[in-house]
Amino acid sequence: MFAVAALIMFAAGPAFPQQPDAHAAVTVGTATATRGQVAYGVISIPAAMDSATSLPVAVVNGARPGPVVALVAGSHGTEYTSIVALTRIIGRLDPKTISGTVLVAPLLNVASFTQMIVHVNPIDGKGMNGQYPGDPAGTQTQRALAAVADQIVKQADVVVDLHGGDLDEDLHPYSYWFRGGQAGQDSASRALALAFGLDHIIVRDFDLSDAASRRNLGGYAMSLGKTVLVAEAGRSGTVEPEDLRLLMDGVLNVLGALRMIDRPVRPVAHPVWLDASTRLAADSAGMFFATVGRGPRRRRGGGGLHDGLPGTPDGRGALARRGGRHLHPRSAFHVEGRDARGDRTGAGGGADLPEARELGVSLPGRSAVAPSAARSLGGRHR
């Protein structure tokens, strides 16, 4: 929208200095903010085939024109650090001094939050980061995401999607560099990842011609030409001050890098670029004991031990042995396993112990990343 506005101003030339301001008033749901104002409200999703929901939103409309940035969290409603970070960031943004507009949606998956259900919306069992562009005639998740797509994503130039290490994820903070193969877009996303400030950055490539890669928020927003940043800090149901600071400072750094606020930004000097397509799986179901912490120290061995299920003979085994940095060992105690044919037993893939293999390259640009980074990721972001 900003690019369009700039284009109109350029085309009109200096003979028409008073151009209409496309963002004189910005509305998301029930929140409308004029220039220099903050408005709070909700996106109401009426009941249909299942129950209604109401997503909290805020619009911080800067006094001066500039980019429109959407800040989104809580598609996983038990990733508390990200939800708290965006709730608190609203009060840290002074619309009188901002150039541009900030749309804030700190909690998409309200039922996950209120019922303490991980990963999915318990109303319909769907992942709220895996159903874009949504469906106005669908289930609650699909209806909600259709509204998020229309009212938030489409209005934005930049989409920041925050996550917070879920109840079962003992997570080391990292961000993602999402790449879709468009040089300008990829370069802008890379710059925001470096500005955000987390030194571990997972490189993830998307084939945006594949509908499956447009189902998560980042991929969907990229397919619309938006600049995307995804970052994650927090762990296991906690809201620790340091994790909170990382996310809040990261958001302010993004706004600083976009020159929407007056904030000097020092991009990460020595990023660790990671390919996180590797996850370790247990051989069988059982109880899991992590032998590595959340830190990114390099380990040659596996990431944990597991016993059988409660009440079975004590048969301790190791998870598959691989080297790498363990970005989030599983903190939940029970793991699913794989059956004799190697298929994962149970739903949800709980056996996985995510790790990230270091690419070992510094990236001046796209070509420096090993082809292995092009593999698509499974995992939590659905």
What is the number of the residue whose Cβ is closest to Zn ion?
A: 163
CB-based contact 160:71 (threshold 8 Å): yes
CB closer to Zn ion out of 130 and 302: 130
Shortest Cβ distance from residue 6 to Zn ion (Å)? 34
CB closer to Zn ion out of 109 and 189: 109
CB closer to Zn ion out of 176 and 273: 176
Shortest Cβ distance from residue 260 to Zn ion (Å)? 25
Shortest Cβ distance from residue 206 to Zn ion (Å)? 17
CB closer to Zn ion out of 77 and 271: 77
CB closer to Zn ion out of 234 and 286: 234
Shortest Cβ distance from residue 311 to Zn ion (Å)? 33
Shortest Cβ distance from residue 231 to Zn ion (Å)? 11
Shortest Cβ distance from residue 33 to Zn ion (Å)? 28
Instruction: Give me the residues that bind Zn ion (CB under 5 A), please.
Output: 76, 79, 163
CB closer to Zn ion out of 163 and 215: 163
